[in-house]
Structure formats: C-alpha cells, structure tokens
Structure 1
Amino acid sequence: MSIDAAPRAHTLLSPRLEHSAWLGWVEADPYPELVAVSHGTDSPSGRAAILSLVNEVARALDGIRVHGAFVDVQEPRVETLLASSTLGTEHRAAIIPLLLSAGTHASKDLTAAAALRAGTTVAAPLGPDASIAALMHRRLTEAGWMPGEAVIMACAGTTDPQGTKDCRYMAQLLAGSLQVPVTVAYISAEEPRLEDALAYARTHNPGRRTVVASYLLAPGYFARLAGLSAPDVLSAPLLAPTQSPPRELVDIVISRYHQSTRR
C-alpha cells in the first residue's frame, strides 16, 4: 500500500536559476525528495494514522515531493521505492525514519537502502525529543493520569544498545515534563518487560494506580500488547487516526529533513 502524499505536494519546486559572470545562467540542484519511512503495520487504524502524518508533512512542505515507504509489512518497501523511477532517475532523496529510537531498521536497513540511490541521506529517528515528552504528557492527561502518579514508559523494545539508551533518555525527558518518577519497560526484546514492571509496581505500591505511557508512534501490534497488560491507566500512541497529526511530530519530521539536506 503506497502512502504517497497528497497530489499538491508532489509538484517539485520550479528549478532555481543562478547568475554567474563566468558561467552564465545555470540550474541549481533540485530539492531532495522526502521519503518518510515507517515500520509498517497490518492495523487499519495504524495505517491511517501514519498516512495522516505523511500527508500533513507534505502539505507543510508544499513544493517538495513527499513519499511514504516501509521497512516491513506494507508496500512500497523503501528499497523498492528508491530503486524505482517513482522518484525520477536524477533526483536525490532524504530518508526520514518515522521511528522513535535507534535500532536495526534505523542504523542498518535504511543505510543499506540509501546506497541504492546516489546522494541519498538518512536522518536521525524522531526521538528522543523534548517536544515528544510534551506530547506524551498530553496523551497521559487525556487518559486520566493525575499529577503526582508515577509512570511506566512502555517502549516497543530493541536489541540495539543505542535504542535502549534512547528509550532511557526519553524517560528522563518525560520525567522532567511530568515531575514524577518514570520507569522504562519494554514490550519485547529487552528487559524489564512491561508485564514485569507492572507486577512489581502493584506489589510494592498496593492501592496505587498503575499508569503506562505509550512510547509508540501509532496503533498496531505493540499497542495491542500494551493494552493486554491491563494497567489502570494507559495513554494512547502519539498518533491517533481520528485526530490531526500532532504539530510536534510534523515539526520534527520537517526539522529532520532540513538537517539532513542542510537547508
């Protein structure tokens, strides 16, 4: 399933002309095309949520072509898109990972895909970031969190050491926003597992509600598992299919694009 951006965002900026006393009028390099790469999901609501983010980025970057691609589950796969004529044979690309932390996909898979097209860059993941902490704070409040309640932050999990370091740093940012202790737990791959962190909290803090902040981008497999752990309070993922994409996430994607292309 392709999630290319809205048609109006698929029009390239008009070529810019620069004057030189020696070379005359020459055409400048076009802006790189933005390839927003998410993991991919079989969840219809998760797909809709990611699509809404890609489309909102395309609207904000009017004049720059924006494409959606995936590393798994959905089509087009990022390597297929980069090797195809969809981007134009002469066009550079800027890969923006719609991923919250470092991991195999961000550090290896996307780097390998970028090698298929000359001049392609790979930006940093979306997190950790202070603006995401503010968004998670809002999601917790929407879910019924009360100031003063300790929080468990649920990450998807990764075997990449940098990815776990990113999750711990994100927990520090969230703790600073909430002004309460935040414990990191993982849904898969890493310890402590979410269910174990919840069991510990219930045993050592009887009578207190268990609160979980979802450090997940969109509804899908990991969000379902977080729900099955049955905390007293569980915040929604950062993207919700029934809401406009949070401005914080749109701004991060745009910032990563400008950083990647040095514009």
Structure 2
Amino acid sequence: MTAVLVACAHGTRFEEGRVVIRALLDMLRATAPDGVEVHEAYVDVHEPYVTDVVAAARERTDDVVIVPLLLSTGYHTEVDLVEAAGGLPIAPALGPHPVLAEILADRVREAGAAPDDTVVLAAAGSTRPGAVVDVERMAELLADAGITAPVIAAYAAASEPRIDAAVAAARAEGRRTVAASYVLAPGHFSRVIERADADATTAPIGADPRLAEVVWERWRAARSARSLA
C-alpha cells in the first residue's frame, strides 16, 4: 500500500523562497523509502493548500502523515494543521533538533564569528508560547554544536526581544554581532533579519541535505506512534 508524506510549508509570495522549498521537496523525493510518496502542501499564501492535499491523499490511502516544514511550533502546527489533518498523524515541527543546530553552527562559523561576538539566533516569532520555548532550546543546542560565543534568541515579530533590538544591545556593549537566520527560506522574515544590520548575517537554512534527515526522522516517529496507538 502506498504511504504518503504530506510535506507542508508555510507558503511565500517570494519566488526565491518557493525555489528553496521545491529543492527540499526534490531531496525528499530522492531519499524517500520505497513505496512512499512526497506530496507538496502549504498552510497559507498559495496552493496547493494542505487541506486539499490531505483530502486527495485520503482518497488513495490511509497511510498519510503530515510533516510541517516549519522550524518551531506555533499557530499553524497547533491549529491549522490539526484542522486539516482530521485525525491523521502530524509530526512535530522540524526544530528544535541537533541537526538544525549543526547546520546553523556551520553557517555561523562560515560568517566568521569569534568567541567574543554575540550570536543572535534570529527566528520568525509567534504568539504561541511553545514557539519561544522551541527557539530558546535551539539556542542551547547551538552551544552543544560548538558555538562558544554567547547566543541570544530574538524574533522578527510577535515575541521579544526583537532582532534589531538584540543587535543594538550587543553593539552598545561593544560586541560584534552575527545574526543566525533561523528561517527555512528567503522571504519576508529573512528580509527583516537582514534589515537588523548585524555585522554578519547568515543565509536561511535552505535545502541543506541534512534537513531531509530531520524530515524523515519526524515522519517515521509520527507514523510509528500511529501504529502503536
């Protein structure tokens, strides 16, 4: 029987962001286990919308798992995807995860961060308390991944501190800043991070091959949990 992974991203009006998501979907299809299909879906902005993708998949198989291509929990994971799933299993958001910390740490080192710099972990932000918990955990994982500079979690919207304020506070203390872009693809939030004017800003996580490992790990765990239920 065919199994379906519904890979659900947020959606963006920026074409460069859509290119990144399509590249990630291509990687997932290339690494999919035998008999598993990867279906593209979005929770907002543009089609194919996750509700429609899930409904179509259910007509073909009961073995459907939704994996959010989102870095933290939030309204979309807690409300929108739950409504779209109609009881189907939903994997957790991709972060926090040690592999994401490894990717971010590599980017921070490539940006030339020194031990006495401040690393601003620059996330999108959410009104949901769990999102802040997730991002703060990612800040801890960055230290586990070998970043010895101080790491401060900051947000483009909804949560405090804001990214530009975190950069300004570090600069007022005479510290150089590196903004680690904790967003998946170029778009609105990556532009907010760039405008914070840190001394260096990393690129979004993008279609890093290691990200596929995280997606498949989330899929396997959610699918197994359903089998045991």
Same fold (TM over 0.5): yes
Partner residue in 1 for 2:96: 128
2:171 to 187, 195, 202: 202
Equivalent residues of 2:27, 2:209 under 8 A apart:
no
Q: Aligned partners of 1:90 and 1:249: how far apart in 2?
A: 28
1:66 to 28, 34, 38: 38
Q: Aligned partners of 2:202 and 2:50: how far apart in 1?
A: 30
Q: Aligned partners of 2:189 and 2:181: how far apart in 1?
A: 9
2:107 to 139, 142, 160: 139
1:230 to 175, 197, 206: 197
Q: Which has the higher helix share?
A: 2
1:250 to 188, 212, 221: 212
Q: Aligned partners of 2:60 and 2:11: how far apart in 1?
A: 27
The residue correspondences of 1:54-93 to structure 2 (distance < 5 A) are 54-61=25-32, 62-84=34-56, 87=57, 89-92=59-62, 93=64
Tell me if 1:49 matches 2:20: yes
The runs of 5 or more residues in structure 1 that have no matched partner are 1-29, 240-244
The CA deviation at 1:147 is 4.3
Equivalent residues of 1:143, 1:236 under 8 A apart:
no
The CA deviation at 1:255 is 0.6
Partner amino acid, structure 2, of 1:137: A
Moved over 4 A (4+): none
Equivalent residues of 1:70, 1:77 under 8 A apart:
yes
Q: Aligned partners of 1:89 and 1:31: how far apart in 2?
A: 12
| SS across alignment from 1:65 | strand
Partner amino acid, structure 2, of 1:103: G
Q: Aligned partners of 2:60 and 2:119: how far apart in 1?
A: 49
Partner residue in 1 for 2:73: 102
Query: Aligned residue pairs: how many?
Result: 222
Partner amino acid, structure 2, of 1:125: A
The runs of 5 or more residues in structure 2 that have no matched partner are none
Equivalent residues of 1:124, 1:256 under 8 A apart:
yes
Q: Aligned partners of 1:183 and 1:173: how far apart in 2?
A: 12
Equivalent residues of 2:25, 2:40 under 8 A apart:
yes
The CA deviation at 1:195 is 1.1
CA RMSD between the two structures: 1.5
Partner amino acid, structure 2, of 1:259: A
The CA deviation at 1:246 is 1.9
Q: Aligned partners of 1:210 and 1:88: how far apart in 2?
A: 48
The CA deviation at 1:202 is 1.2
Question: Which of these two proteins has the greater Rg computed from alpha carbons?
Answer: 1
Partner residue in 1 for 2:136: 168
TM-score by length of 1: 0.81
| SS across alignment from 1:96 | strand
Q: Using the aligned pairs only, state the percent identity.
A: 40
Per-residue Cα deviation, 1:85-129 (whole angstroms, up to 9, x for no partner): xx26141211000001110001111011001xxx62100110001
